[in-house]
Amino acid sequence: MALVVLDAGHGGANPGAVYNGRQEKDDALSLTMAIGRILEANGVDVYYTRTTDVYESPYQKAMEGNEVGADYFVSIHRNSSPYPNQYTGIESLVYNRYGRAAQLAYNINSQLEQIGWVNQGVNERPGLVVLNATSMPSVLVEVGFINTDADNVFFDEHFYETAQAIADGIIQTVR
């Protein structure tokens, strides 16, 4: 079975995006751990870049993925926009829109859309270290906008369905 690196974005002194006291690093960690439990229960091997509130640079996380010989790398984040309540939905970022990373991203987005998330698509971001320094297909998933009230309500009320959807998109790709 495949080895999947799950990366909870940010951590430690780096909170990521913050909105009304809510910190991206906390949402990312709780969701990542829930996704990991589902994957492990379905026979997928998981390596976590963090399981507690610590900080490692994106480069360190990418190198960890390379060192453990992972088959896929999935980084979990929350999006943010210049103004509150400006945008809504999920988005997956990839180095380029071709190959296994793109297929993984499309599968994850499709699963998230099926449970009610607005799908903002798969977009290329070749400048992101966790996408360009990893030697395996890598995806960064932005799970709703942390500064959009409706997305936070949906994130909280559909937390387990969201974790299941991301896990299902991963399983669909790795099997």
Catalytic residues: 142
C-alpha–C-alpha distance, residues 21 and 55, integer Å: 19
Q: Tell me, what DSSP letter sits at residue 22?
A: E
CB 50 within 8 A of CB 14: no
Cβ burial, residue 83 (10 Å; 0-12/13-18/19+): exposed
**CB contact set of 11 (below 8 Å; sequence gap of 6+):** 25, 28, 29, 50, 53, 54, 55, 56
Q: How far apart are CA 8 and CA 57, in angstroms?
A: 12
